[in-house]
């Protein structure tokens, strides 16, 4: 018990809490910075590797219909599904989202992208069948003002009419007429979508915009389904009642046939299966893709041999990183040893030489290697001049694995030398002397006494070099050609060229998992306590 009766532990905790809070306050700026600029984007990126809302968001009605469709039956989906696709596609086309979805689904099935683009161009014509018939029936249906009067509530209509489009004021948001919404539910809902789009996304005056063809289709659907228009006496009631009487004779649209007319692929089961497979909000598709597999109706399966790419690339990345790490150990160990055993003045001077590369841009160093390693480059010229290789069989040192390994070993070497040096510096020379005085030869003394104590430096250097090289991008990109590139180059390609961010995220996540796994294995085998960056 402390003097004031509280337990010693709690008063100690109180004393420590202030210290902890102060420490937290000191690191808070960095913590926030890292969270906002580093952790959050990474989390977002990782989320993208499983996120797949684009299908269900762009084609909500179609994906809902497809839930009950059995692709194995060999039958194309029902006409209602095609109608749902028409509606989804129409809205998507207006909002210019259909090409994005096309690109997304094209990752899974080639050809979908062009199918969607083509369908988007022609979808308008499909709805105009009803629009034309309504407009032929009555001029009333041609005028957007009439539509607004019919579909909108009285309050909104008054506000909209009072609104001056040239003023700064915001356009009054459309409100549906409750009675019409009851009578013509689909038309009202579709018009609402249209109005929202015009007012919010297009930012045009709703009074001046003719409704989408889709709205006419919806009106036809409502009326032909037997809407009870008799009780309605508001604006346009006469035209509505006339239309009600006429729709029975209207020419109808055969959606499956119309889609087939646009592109016969719409009657291809594979297209529909792909849409169905990717309807859920989350997908393992990107990850499967990243390990050369794909989703099929019977679960995951390997892609055909000629489409396999990523596993090979992962293995190549790991293998080359290991080779680079090994070369760095071989080249760096003797240098570290020399540095650690020289008098401080000389060692500092040489240390500057080791650090010199850090003062030169990475790009410059890599480009220099391009000059060095070319077929007509410095190294080949020298070898030819020395007569080591014949002029007509110059070595291919660049745009292949050799080029990447040479250039990256050079670039990452300081990361090996520095930890080796600082660990070796802490090994007193008296250990070697003791070993020799005990009868060990130079080699035994080194191998049994010095080397084991330098292992933490090798460990630290290897982890640094390996992890840096496994994610390296610039150097393999510049000197790796096609056979010497890493997985990161592929990730970069999907980020910036193919725009398949989901796949890039999945590849990145796998890379992260591999690194963490190796780190864990390293900890189990060598022990992370055995890693020292110095003292």
Q: Which stretch binds another protein (CB under 8 A): 200-208, 285-293, 394-402, 423-431?
A: 423-431
CA distances from 391 to 24, 212, 382 (A): 65, 72, 11
- Contact segment (CB under 8 A) with another protein among 15-23, 278-286, 364-372, 433-441 equals 433-441
Q: Which of 36, 438, 521, 533 binds another protein (CB under 8 A)?
A: 438
346 binds another protein (CB under 8 A): no
CA dist., res. 258 & res. 119, Å (int):
10
Is 441 a binding residue for another protein by CB under 8 A? The answer is: yes
Kindly state whether residue 521 participates in binding another protein, applying the rule CB under 8 A: no
Residue 434 interacts with another protein (CB under 8 A): yes or no: yes
Does residue 30 sit in helix, strand or coil?
helix
Closest to another protein by CB, 358 vs 447, is: 447
Task: Note whether 535 binds another protein by CB under 8 A.
Answer: no
Least distance between another protein and beta carbon 445 (Å) = 8
- Whose Cβ is closer to another protein: residue 346's or residue 483's? 346
Distance (Å, rounded) from C-alpha 336 to C-alpha 355? 13
Q: Which stretch binds another protein (CB under 8 A): 28-36, 237-245, 427-435, 493-501?
A: 427-435
Judged by beta carbon, residue 308 or residue 453, the one nearer another protein is 453
Distance CA 456, CA 530 (A): 5
| Interface pick for another protein out of 370, 394, 436, 532 (rule CB under 8 A) | 436
Nearer to another protein, 20 or 448 (CB): 448
CA 317 remoteness from chain centre: 20
How far from 457 is each of 329, 410, 511, 517, CA to CA, in Å?
10, 19, 25, 21
Q: Which of residues 225-264 bind another protein (CB under 8 A)?
A: none
340 near another protein, judged by CB under 8 A: no
Q: Is 510 exposed, middle or buried (0-12, 13-18, 19+ CB in 10 A)?
A: middle
Name the 3-class secondary structure at 414: helix
- Among residues 29 and 439, whose Cβ is nearest to another protein? 439
Place of tokens 């292949």: 400
* 526 touches another protein by CB under 8 A: no
528 binds another protein (CB under 8 A): no
Residue 341 interacting with another protein (CB under 8 A): no
Residue in 144, 153, 284, 453 binding another protein, rule: CB under 8 A:
453
| Residue 449 in contact with another protein, rule: CB under 8 A | yes
Q: Which residues pair with 294 in a beta bridge?
A: 301
Point out which residues pair with 282 in neighbouring strands: 51
Q: At 63, is the secondary structure helix, strand, or coil?
A: helix
The rounded distance, in Å, linking the Cα atoms of 166 and 176 is 24
Q: Is 7 in the site for another protein (CB under 8 A)?
A: no
Which span sits near another protein by CB under 8 A: 51-59, 150-158, 282-290, 443-451? Answer: 443-451
Length of the chain: 535
Least distance between another protein and beta carbon 361 (Å): 41
Tokens read off for 416: 């090996």
Residue 452 makes contact with another protein by CB under 8 A: yes
Contact 417, 335 (CB under 8 A): yes
Asked if 527 interacts with another protein (CB under 8 A), we say no
Select from 439, 482, 497, 524 the one that contacts another protein (CB under 8 A). 439
Asked if residue 52 lies in contact with residue 282, where contact means CB atoms within 8 angstroms, the answer is yes
Q: Which of 213, 435, 463, 504 binds another protein (CB under 8 A)?
A: 435
Shortest Cβ 446–another protein spacing (Å): 12
Helix axes 401-425, 362-373, angle to 10 degrees: 130
The interface with another protein within residues 29-58 (CB under 8 A) comprises none
CB of 453 to another protein, least distance (A): 6
Instruction: Decide if residue 65 touches another protein (CB under 8 A).
Output: no
Kindly compute the dihedral angle of the four CA atoms of residues 340, 343, 349, 350, in this order, to the nearest 10 degrees.
Answer: -40
Of residues 339, 355, 359, the one with CA closest to residue 347:
339
SS3 399: coil
Residue 407 is a binding residue for another protein (CB under 8 A): no
| CB closer to another protein out of 205 and 453 | 453
Which residues does 318 contact at the CB level (< 8 Å), separation at least 6?
Answer: 470, 514
**Closest separation in Å from C-beta 435 to another protein:** 7
| Interface with another protein, residue 297, by CB under 8 A | no
CB 462 within 8 A of CB 495: no
**Interactions with another protein, residue window 107-126 (CB under 8 A):** none
Q: Return the residue of 7, 53, 444, 483 that touches another protein, per CB under 8 A.
A: 444
- Which CB atom, from 17 or from 433, has the smaller least distance to another protein? 433
Contact call for residues 127 and 214 (beta carbons, < 8 A):
yes
- SS3 of 459-486: HHHHHHHHHHHHCCCHHHHHHCCCCCCC
- CB of residue 439 to another protein, shortest distance in Å: 5
Q: Are strands 299-302 and 293-296 parallel, antiparallel or unpaired?
A: antiparallel
- Where does this chain bind another protein (CB under 8 A)? 428, 430-431, 433-442, 444-445, 448-449, 452-453
């Amino acid at each position: 018990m402390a003097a004031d009766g509280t337990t010693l532990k709690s008063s100690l905790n109180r004393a420590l809490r202030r210290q902890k809070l102060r420490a937290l306050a000191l690191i808070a700026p960095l913590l926030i910075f890292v969270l906002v600029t580093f952790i959050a984007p990474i989390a977002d990126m990782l989320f993208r590797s499983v996120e797949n809302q684009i299908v269900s968001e762009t084609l909500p009605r179609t994906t809902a219909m497809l839930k009950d469709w059995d692709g194995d039956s060999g039958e194309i989906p029902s006409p209602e599904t095609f109608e749902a696709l028409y509606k989804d596609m129409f809205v998507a086309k207006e909002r210019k989202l259909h090409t994005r979805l096309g690109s997304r689904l094209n990752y899974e099935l080639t050809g979908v992208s062009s199918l969607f683009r083509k369908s988007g161009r022609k979808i308008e014509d499909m709805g105009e069948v009803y629009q034309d018939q309504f407009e032929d029936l009555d001029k009333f249906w041609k005028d957007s003002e009439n539509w607004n009067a019919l579909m909108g509530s009285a309050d909104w209509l008054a506000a909209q009419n009072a609104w001056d489009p040239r003023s700064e004021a915001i356009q009054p948001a459309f409100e549906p007429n409750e009675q019409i919404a009851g009578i013509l539910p689909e038309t009202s809902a579709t018009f609402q979508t249209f109005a929202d789009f015009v007012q919010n996304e297009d930012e045009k005056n709703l009074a001046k915009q003719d409704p989408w063809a889709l709205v006419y289709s919806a009106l036809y659907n409502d009326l032909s389904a037997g809407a009870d228009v008799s009780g309605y006496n508001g604006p346009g009631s006469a035209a509505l009642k006339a239309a009600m009487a006429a729709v029975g004779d209207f020419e109808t649209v055969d959606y499956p046939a119309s889609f087939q007319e646009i592109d016969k692929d719409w009657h291809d089961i594979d297209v529909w299966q792909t849409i169905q497979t990717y309807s859920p909000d989350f997908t393992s598709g990107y990850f499967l893709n990243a390990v050369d597999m794909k989703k099929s109706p019977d679960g995951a399966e390997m892609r055909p041999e000629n489409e396999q790419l990523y596993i090979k690339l992962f293995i190549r990345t790991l293998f080359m990183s290991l080779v680079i790490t090994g070369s760095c150990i071989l080249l760096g160990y003797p240098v570290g040893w020399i540095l650690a055993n020289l008098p401080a003045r000389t060692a500092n001077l040489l240390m500057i030489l080791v650090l010199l590369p850090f003062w030169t841009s990475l790009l410059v160093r890599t480009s220099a290697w391009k000059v060095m390693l070319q077929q007509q480059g410095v190294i080949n010229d020298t070898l030819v001049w020395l007569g080591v290789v014949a002029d007509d069989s110059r070595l291919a040192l660049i745009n292949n694995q050799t080029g990447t390994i040479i250039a990256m070993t050079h670039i990452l070497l300081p990361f090996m030398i520095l930890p080796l040096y600082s660990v070796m510096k802490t090994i007193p020379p008296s250990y070697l002397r003791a070993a020799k005085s005990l009868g060990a030869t130079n080699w035994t003394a080194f191998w049994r006494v010095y080397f084991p104590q330098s292992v933490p430096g090798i460990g630290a250097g290897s982890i640094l070099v390996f992890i840096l090289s496994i994610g390296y991008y610039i150097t393999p990109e510049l000197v790796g050609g096609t056979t010497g590139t890493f997985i990161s180059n592929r990730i970069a390609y999907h980020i910036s060229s193919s725009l398949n961010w989901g796949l890039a995220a999945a590849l990145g996540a796998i890379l992260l998992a591999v690194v963490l796994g190796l780190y864990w294995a390293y900890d189990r085998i060598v022990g992370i306590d055995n890693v020292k960056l110095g003292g």
